[in-house]
Amino acid sequence: MAQGYEDGLRPVPERGADDGDTRSLALLMHAAFFLLLGASLARFLLRHPGEARTPWLIGLSVALAALYVIGPVLGSRPTARSLVWLGGLVVVWMVVVVLAPSFAWCAVPLFYTGLRILPPRAAYALVALLTLFVVAAQLRLAHGFDPNLVLAPPAVAAVATAVFVHMRRQAARQGRLIDDLLRTRRELAATERREGTLAERQRLSMEIHDTLAQGLSSQQMLLQAADRTWDTDPAAARRHIRTAGGIAERNLAEARRFVHDLAPADLAEGGGLDAALRALAARETAQAQGRLTVRCHIEGAPHTVLPDRTQSALLRIAQGALANVTEHAGATEAALTLTHLDDRTVLDIADNGHGFTPTAAGSQGGVRGHGLPAMRARLHQLGGTLTIESAPGEGTVVTATVPAAPALQDPPPQDSA
């Protein structure tokens, strides 16, 4: 049905969850109407054969059936056409009842039709009118006054009306519940999309910081060094430029990898995290041109293959930490140590640089910038931890630890440190 009345006060659309029950009830009422109509006509023909009113009664019964068939086509909204149809249907039924009181029980399906189409007060008035006709018809058929014939039709009408109103109110409440659930689902989906977008932005910012931004910074340093030595030492200047070109080529590979699947280029080349860290150490040593030597040590072997997300995060952390060593530590030696334990994987990045006091500038390790917060965010998503050990003049050790089977977590809010 197209429309009902919520709690007997205002119209509400019927919901998809109740469409099946509503259609079943409508079909049952339609079948009951035609069954009662046919039984009443058969009773009249058997008990009153050959009477003058018989042709009229047959014609009106056919007209009543035809009118009833039109109803579902008009729908159940209280439009002008449906109201005229309902009025005509009731009038024809009343005429039939006047001619043959046995047709009175066809009123029960008409109760449903009126309650389905009319506003509550008008529907209740129609039910009362139909009930009075049923009572009058039953008294005409009786040989004397029978209290049961006076009380039974109102009781049946009251029960039928109460059941219908209760079902309609239940449908309205279920409809509101479905609306609330759908709205909540849409809100949750929108929230998840926003959180996913923010997490992806944060991840991309970390990827760019650990690769392209660090590479561009190294290129800038090399080109500045080449500019300073261009006249006094052309060979050194050319070496700086060639090294800067190699970094640019590497950054281009990383940029293409971002477009493809955002996996680190070293990992995409095969060999896993061990080979990628060795390649990173060799590349950093070559780019430093004697100012910094980076060594790589692998201890143990993983019992299971590390997930791609874990390998990518540890490689990015190593890249970021070595970039900090190159730019800030003034170190001559650095070491990457990857240790595979039974329950966790540990990556240490140690240098012999200036060092610092980790608590001097807050919980982010005493260093301003995006690098350390990005490392912490990566490890937080993997259920891991980041620790920093350093002191002025004693170098620095950055330790990243991830569990063997990391449980992914939501990224923490990115701070500005």
d(C-alpha 53, C-alpha 218), whole Å: 109
d(C-alpha 180, C-alpha 400), whole Å: 45
pLDDT of 139 > 70? The answer is yes
CB neighbour class for 74 (10 Å; exposed up to 12, middle 13-18, buried from 19): middle
High-pLDDT (> 70) share of the chain, % = 82
What are the pLDDT digits (tens) for 333-370? Answer: 999 999 988 888 999 999 998 888 876 444 444 444 56
The arithmetic mean of pLDDT across residues 75-84, rounded, is 78
Helix (H, G, I), strand (E, B) or coil at 253: helix
d(C-alpha 6, C-alpha 177), whole Å: 13
Residues forming beta bridges with residue 294, ordered by sequence position: 334
The arithmetic mean of pLDDT across residues 289-316, rounded, is 84
Between the alpha carbon of residue 243 and those of residues 239, 286, 288, 318, the distances in Å are 6, 8, 9, 20
What are the pLDDT digits (tens) for 368-381? Answer: 456 778 788 888 88
What are the pLDDT digits (tens) for 220-260? Answer: 888 888 888 888 888 888 888 888 888 888 887 777 766 55
pLDDT of 197 > 90? The answer is no
- In 32-109, DSSP assigns E strands to none
* Lowest mean pLDDT across 14-18, 115-119, 371-375: 14-18
User: Confidence class of residue 144 from pLDDT cuts 50, 70 and 90?
Assistant: low
pTM of the model: 0.42
For residue 108, how many C-alpha atoms fall within 13 Å in the half-sphere facing its CB?
A: 20
- Spatial neighbors of 165 by CB under 8 A, at least 6 apart, are 8, 115
pLDDT at 401: 92
Looking at residue 325, the DSSP 8-state letter turns out to be: I
d(C-alpha 315, C-alpha 336), whole Å: 10
CA 339 to chain centre: 40
What are the pLDDT digits (tens) for 145-161? Answer: 667 767 877 888 788 78
Looking at residue 270, the DSSP 8-state letter turns out to be: S
User: Confidence class of residue 37 from pLDDT cuts 50, 70 and 90?
Assistant: confident
Residue 318, amino acid:
A
